[in-house]
């Protein structure tokens, strides 16, 4: 075979090479197409996943003690035991059920329109899974002393108590550095309520700072907490950015209750009135846990929750000169204040959100109402350590009633030494026993027996809080746990037109007594507040310098003196912080000597839980705060109280009632509760003497406006069978 010239390929070889090149290019194109298809498929899957996540990113909280919920283990779709609610859940494709607390669940939905539909059924209370933020203002200085302790003279109380390991303070926050040398030996427990596990390491720094203020141990290094021998339960309910949800904080409170916390610290908040959270806070309060909340750092008087809930001590902040801190929130919902500027405490040495570079030392300053609230929580723990037999209300009162009265916007400064001295005095009195009963003989062998008591349950309520609560409850269409009855508040009655007239009766010629300060001229008239929802209405009203207060069996209403309607709350809501049972027979007067409104009611008719209720307005303005008291009608649970009457003089408030045998017995006694007025005008411990009149005698106390008269006169009606004498 002849050789190819110049090594050139034959035509056949050239054709083979061309075919190979075409095949290679085809394979490359196919590969590109496959890769493109794979990428497209991945993108589609990601889009579908993100769309799915986004469509169920809206979380809602449902509270109900009537209906049970469940979910399909495969589809995660949520169903309930109620057909009507099921149709709504199906309509909104509700998924991902999580049990938050008893009677409280969390689900995911496509949009929040479901809230209105579910609330309309009257069997559930539905809300958003609200967002809460921690309160802090960072400050990057790394040295100095704990100046807040010098302000409060806390070192003077450590001779009395430094705490007790059995007293646990639950700090619901961003977690804790559990290896910190000043904290590690004082940590009792830890929990992560976001992930439902035990990973509670602080990745923000805020929680570690609070823990040091409350309970940094005494180990001859670092700093010292207010209660250095107390224990901490650290519950991580907030992420590294300081954001938490209703669901995480509710679970955190439940964890604190279940693990016997004595104090819970809330150094975070929101403007949202959160019914599910409030329900859980009430549960904690009934578990005898002291609750302390930071007021917030917005320089605002707007309500912040949970600090504004009645069960929580709301804490504002002061500066080094005892003036209002420039950032602090305040209002009639803040009961106490503490130093809140540049408070030195523990910090993690590793990198956290508050310092991305990590802290050079184990300590740093933070500014805010969070730090102020932590000092109050530490003081509460100290008081409990010294006397663990005292109730939550006792501890609240020791802190609030003994505060320094130099006020910022009405918020006094905590005074640890006076709180301790008051506790010492109470403990000393307890060892001496109660004073013996005394008696005074009257005609017909009727006696009035006296007994000194000091056992009234107390509460402070803010009318703005109650009104907002009632408005929210009407929106959601359901009454929250803790209320025992509900009366719908009617619409306000309009001011009458010019052709309407309600002239007062003219006085007779024999009338010679004129009021000291007439409230109205004789030609003024306007329509009162129309209740119409309770029969009989037991209507009673009182007039102050600028306001009229109307009391009904259904509600309490407020007007200006020209008749303009302001607001109203149901009688049940007004007394709800005392959990008294159903209240009835309200009475209201205005005391011109103390310039306060006084309201009384009986509660829990025909029951061994019968109680006398007393409310005193904090000022002459009845739309502000009120101090509330509940006194058990009969310590022996034999009688219940009915038909209350109230009288006053410059020193005393006297409330009288007829006593009937439980449940349906006849009238047996007449009780009169004589209350030292000065002890309740500032919400302090009520000093009470009970007068017991036998022989079915009833008393009616007088209204005495003479500043020189110290006696209170009681009109008495004896039983007809005993002589019919009065």
* Other CB atoms within 10 Å distance of the CB of residue 567: 18
What lies within 8 Å, CB to CB, of 583 at 6+ separation is 571, 572, 574, 575, 601, 602, 603, 613
Q: Which of 63, 101, 173, 465 is catalytic?
A: 173
Concatenated DSSP letters for 108-169? EES-TTHHHHHHTTSS-EEEE--EEEE--EEE-------HHHHHHTGGGGTTT----TT-EE
* Other CB atoms within 10 Å distance of the CB of residue 196: 11
Cis before 306? omega within 30 = yes
Cα–Cα dist 470/467, whole Å: 5
Strand partners, 78: 71
> Is the Cβ–Cβ distance between 666 and 655 less than 8 Å?
no
Cα–Cα dist 689/451, whole Å: 5
* Structure tokens that stand for 277 in this block: 């959270």
Cα–Cα dist 226/217, whole Å: 9
Q: Which of 161, 247, 370, 531 is catalytic?
A: 370
Cα–Cα dist 55/51, whole Å: 6
Task: Please compute, for residue 652, the number of CA atoms within 13 A of its CA located in the half-sphere on the CB side.
Answer: 22
Grouping H, G, I as helix, E, B as strand and the rest as coil, residue 248 is helix
Phi, psi of 627 (to 5 degrees): -100, 125
> Is 206 considered catalytic here?
yes
Q: Do β-strands 555-560 and 565-570 pair in parallel, antiparallel, or remain unpaired?
A: antiparallel
* Structure tokens that stand for 536 in this block: 């009989």
> Is 64 considered catalytic here?
no
> Is 370 considered catalytic here?
yes
> Is the Cβ–Cβ distance between 346 and 177 less than 8 Å?
yes
Distance of CA 504 to the CA centre of its chain: 44
> Is the Cβ–Cβ distance between 453 and 692 less than 8 Å?
no
Distance of CA 306 to the CA centre of its chain: 5
Helix axes 369-386, 206-215, angle to 10 degrees: 30
Nearest to 645 by CA among 632, 633, 654: 654
Residue 481 vs residues 406, 431, 462, 571, 618: alpha-carbon distances, Å: 37, 38, 19, 16, 27
- By annotation, the residues acting in catalysis are 173, 206, 370
């Amino acid at each position: 075979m002849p050789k190819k010239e110049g090594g050139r390929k034959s035509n056949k070889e050239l054709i083979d090479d061309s075919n190979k090149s075409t095949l290679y290019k085809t394979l490359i194109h196919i590969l590109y197409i496959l890769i493109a298809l794979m990428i497209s498929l991945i993108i589609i899957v990601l889009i579908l996943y993100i769309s799915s996540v986004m469509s169920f990113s809206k979380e809602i909280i449902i509270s109900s003690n009537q209906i049970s919920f469940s979910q399909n283990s495969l589809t995660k779709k949520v169903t309930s035991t109620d057909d009507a609610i099921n149709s709504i859940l199906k309509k909104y494709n509700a998924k991902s059920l999580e049990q938050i607390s008893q009677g409280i669940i969390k689900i995911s939905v496509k949009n929040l329109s479901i809230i209105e539909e579910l609330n309309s059924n009257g069997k559930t209370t539905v809300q958003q899974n609200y967002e809460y933020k921690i309160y802090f203002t960072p400050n990057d200085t790394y040295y100095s002393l704990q100046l807040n302790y010098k302000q409060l003279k806390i070192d003077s109380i450590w001779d009395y108590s430094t705490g007790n390991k059995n007293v646990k303070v639950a700090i619901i926050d961003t977690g804790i550095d559990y290896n910190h040398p000043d904290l590690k030996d004082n940590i009792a427990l830890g929990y992560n309520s976001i992930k439902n596990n035990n990973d509670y390491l602080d990745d923000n720094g805020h929680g570690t700072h609070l823990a040091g203020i409350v309970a940094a141990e005494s180990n001859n290094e670092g700093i010292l907490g207010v209660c250095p021998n107390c224990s901490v339960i650290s519950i991580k309910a907030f992420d590294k950015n300081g954001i938490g949800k209703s669901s995480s904080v509710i679970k955190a409170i439940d964890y604190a209750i279940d693990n016997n916390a004595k104090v819970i610290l809330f150094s975070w908040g929101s403007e949202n009135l959160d019914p599910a959270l409030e329900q859980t806070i009430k549960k904690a309060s009934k578990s005898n846990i002291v609750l302390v909340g930071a007021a917030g750092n917005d320089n605002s008087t707007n309500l912040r929750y949970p600090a504004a809930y009645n069960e929580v001590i709301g804490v504002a902040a002061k500066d080094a000169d005892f003036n209002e801190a420039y950032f602090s929130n305040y209002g009639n919902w803040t009961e106490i204040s503490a130093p809140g500027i540049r408070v030195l405490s523990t910090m993690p040495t590793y990198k956290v959100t508050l310092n991305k570079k990590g802290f050079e030392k184990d300590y740093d300053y933070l500014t805010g109402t969070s730090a102020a609230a932590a000092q109050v929580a530490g003081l509460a723990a100290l008081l409990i350590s010294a006397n663990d037999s005292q109730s939550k209300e006792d501890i609240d009162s020791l802190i609030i009633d003994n505060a320094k009265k130099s006020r910022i916007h009405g918020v006094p400064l905590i005074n640890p030494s006076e709180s301790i001295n008051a506790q010492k005095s109470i403990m000393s009195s307890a060892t001496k026993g109660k004073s013996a009963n005394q008696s005074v003989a009257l005609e017909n062998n009727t006696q009035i027996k006296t007994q000194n008591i000091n056992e009234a349950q107390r509460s402070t309520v803010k009318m703005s809080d109650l009104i907002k609560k009632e408005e929210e409850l009407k929106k959601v269409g359901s009454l929250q746990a803790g209320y025992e009855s509900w009366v719908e508040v009617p619409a306000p009655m309009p001011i009458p037109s010019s052709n309407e007239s309600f002239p007062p009766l003219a006085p007779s010629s024999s009338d010679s007594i004129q009021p000291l300060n007439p409230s109205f001229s004789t030609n003024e008239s306007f329509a009162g507040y129309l209740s119409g929802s309770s029969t009989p209405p037991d209507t009673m009203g009182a007039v102050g310098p600028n306001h009229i207060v109307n009391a009904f069996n259904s509600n309490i209403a407020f007007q200006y003196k020209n008749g303009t309607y302001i607001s109203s709350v149901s009688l049940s809501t007004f007394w709800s912080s005392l959990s008294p049972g159903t209240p009835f027979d309200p009475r209201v007067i205005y005391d011109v000597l103390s310039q306060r409104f006084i309201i009384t009611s009986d509660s829990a008719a025909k029951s061994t839980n019968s109680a006398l209720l007393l409310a005193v307005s904090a000022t002459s303005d009845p739309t502000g705060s009120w101090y509330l008291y509940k006194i058990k009608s009969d310590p022996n649970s034999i009688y219940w109280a009915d038909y209350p009457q109230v009288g006053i003089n410059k020193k005393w408030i006297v409330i009288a009632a007829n006593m009937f045998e439980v449940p349906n017995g006849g009238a047996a006694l007449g009780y009169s509760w004589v209350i030292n007025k000065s002890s309740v005008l500032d919400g302090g411990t009520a000093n009470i003497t009970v007068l017991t009149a036998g022989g079915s005698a009833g008393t009616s106390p007088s209204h005495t406006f003479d500043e020189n008269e110290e006696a209170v006169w009681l009109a008495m009606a004896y039983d007809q069978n005993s002589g019919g004498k009065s």
